[in-house]
Amino acid sequence: MCGLLAYLSTDAERVDEQTVAEVEHALQCVRHRGPDDRELWSDAHVVLGFNRLALIDIEGSPQPLPYADGRYRIVFNGEIYNYLELREELKAAGATFATEGDTEAIVAGWHLWGEAVVPKLRGMFAFVIWDTHTGTAFGARDAFGIKPLFTARLADGGLVFSSEKKALLELLGGSAAAGGVDPASLQHYLTLQYVPEPATMHRGIRRIESGTSFTVADGELTTTRWFHPTFTPRPVPAGGEQALYARIAEVLDDSVAKHMRADVTVGSFLSSGIDSTAIAALAHKYNPDLVTFTVGFQRQAQSEVEIAAESAAILGVKHVPIEVTAQEFADAIPAVVWYLDDPVADPALVPLYFVAREARKHVKVVLSGEGADELFGGYTIYREPLSLAWATRLPAVGRRALAGLSRLVPEGVRGQDLLARASTPLEQRYYGNARNMREDELAAVLPGRDPQLSHTDVTAAYYRQARAAGYDDVTAMQYVDLFTWLRGDILVKADKITMANSLELRVPFLDPEVFAIASSLPVEQRVPARGDATKYALRQAMAQIVPPRIMNRRKLGFPVPTADFLAGPLHEWARGIVTDSQTDEWLDRDHVLLLLERLRSAEVPSKRIARQVWEVLVFMIWHGIFVEERIHPEIPEPVYPVRL
């Protein structure tokens, strides 16, 4: 887990001392990702820079790592959990190794197998390999997008790649040189609460998409999708349920075991739900001294802390809980937004920042439960196609009647949303777990919005692929989430906020072997038609591992009392953000202030309005940092020990 930066010149350019100095300076922007070591390597065509967080082969495996007598140089961010098995396979094929780490397995595999090495990598990764003989580069990003990789073209024609966007902004010369704010990205952000891949909030910077590889030859970038998630639901043979659940438990256990591989201490996040509890229980098998971490807010009605502590006691693991005040929450937000690179309007980012900071005092790696919901069918919204099955059987005239009736029912009246959703095709109504603004609400906040731009522009291609594959509605929703919500929100915050604290987060659910079995489950083993269960097969598989109280509990996911904060202790703070912001080019300041006032004056503050205000606040803070350069967050120097 580290931070990489690669500058690749065009044929017309050659690297000089100034170029190397500029890359080294930009590399400082991602020093928090790897405080243990910083190295640069260059030739006439490239500069490769690397900040290392040493976790495997701590004394060896320096990067940029050479291979094949210096023919290749690789910079690699991530972990390959099957690296020991790969090294043996490569040795049998004639490969030689000078290190004991996982980085060399990637480049040795590239040397022997070419692009075929990428599907063999069981882990999270973003890497760039430079071939000094051919003057070309090859790289790839992992299947689900756990590790990020940004790219841009500089004024001199050179291509740059980095683990974080802020390093590219440094090389480009600031926000204006990066093309300024992308209006489409802003509009999508206000709808989805994140900027969808491959875009960023800057027009001139893009992301290499999850599950793709790329080559750079003669200055031209070419990308290829190497992984396309495929769901192949298969019926469970009569009486075969227990064998299925045992197999799920076995595969997940193997994934956790491999994710525990490190030459440093590995801990685990622990919330109130089954996902993190299952991971912690399995990890405890491989580390009897496992330490778990959770976070909550002072005087919070719904908190993870008590339940997580109870689970930790039952599991027999050491547990470290922390609580955050409203003022600490507000004070941390500018730094959190700086670490993010692009705005993500998920308030859970902030408590994650605090629990990661605390965890880094004890361990260097943590496991977490991200991905379980998308793979095993865990979101409550996945039950909607079952509850609306009656509507899909109506003729077109019946659905039109429902739509007309929904327009007659006042907004907020019980049943109005049900009628509206029942009369709307899945492709139009579902675009992920964040549905913060209707069209009229978006128009009020963003007066200059493009009426031709829609969330369907983001999701339409994925729905076409899902329908072509014959997926039912539940599976189609999961498929869409793999390309949108998972990689746009969940994994962005998982990577950026833990790495802000020089802490590696590993996600055993997002493993090829786990996905293989999860993607084969029939829909009734994910969201049964009867009852209100989700992740049914996973819950059954973990029944002997997870405490009974957690088995069917709805997880909170580090909940944040955003509405209470904005209506109460953080109201004036929020007003100050709005009034000081220089975003009138984009946003209606008066409308945002009106929403804030509605929160304060309401007897029960609206969570929906609070989410909308929060989205705007995060963008305004982002704009103040990266565009106006008016807000200067305090970013501490990473001063963590090399080994923990």
Binding positions are 102, 295, 368-369
Q: How far apart are CA 595 and CA 224, in angstroms?
A: 44
Q: What are 500's two structure tokens?
A: 């802000």
Q: Name the CA dihedral angle for 333, 339, 344, 347, rounded to a multiple of 10 degrees.
A: -40
| Tokens 């689900």 belong to residue | 144
Q: What does DSSP assign to residue 110?
A: H
Q: How far apart are CA 61 and CA 52, in angstroms?
A: 10
Contacts of 231 (CB under 8 A, 6+ apart): 469, 471, 475, 478, 479, 519, 520
Instruction: Using alpha carbons, select from 448, 254, 286 the residue that is nearest to residue 365.
Output: 286
Instruction: Using alpha carbons, select from 79, 21, 23 the residue that is nearest to residue 50.
Output: 23
Largest Cα–Cα separation, the chain: 74
Q: How far apart are CA 43 and CA 46, in angstroms?
A: 6
Contacts of 632 (CB under 8 A, 6+ apart): 625
Report the amino acid identity of residue 510: L
Q: How far apart are CA 88 and CA 200, in angstroms?
A: 40
Binding residue positions for ATP: 295, 368-369
Contacts of 480 (CB under 8 A, 6+ apart): 430, 431, 432, 459, 462, 463, 466
Binding residue positions for L-glutamine: 102
Has 2 been annotated as catalytic? yes
Q: How far apart are CA 367 and CA 369, in angstroms?
A: 7
Q: How far apart are CA 238 and CA 259, in angstroms?
A: 34
Q: How far apart are CA 100 and CA 86, in angstroms?
A: 12
CB atoms within 10 A of CB 394: 14
1, 2, 444, 556: the catalytic one is: 2
Kindly write down the DSSP assignment for every residue of 541-588, as one continuous string.
HTTTTS-HHHHTPPP--S---HHHHHHTTTHHHHHHHHHH---TTTS-
Contacts of 95 (CB under 8 A, 6+ apart): 87, 108, 109, 111, 112
CB-based burial label for 288 (10 Å; 0-12, 13-18, 19+): exposed
Instruction: Using alpha carbons, select from 505, 506, 491, 508 the residue that is nearest to residue 542.
Output: 508
Question: E strand or H helix at 6, and its extent?
Answer: strand 2-8
Among all residues, which ones are annotated catalytic? 2
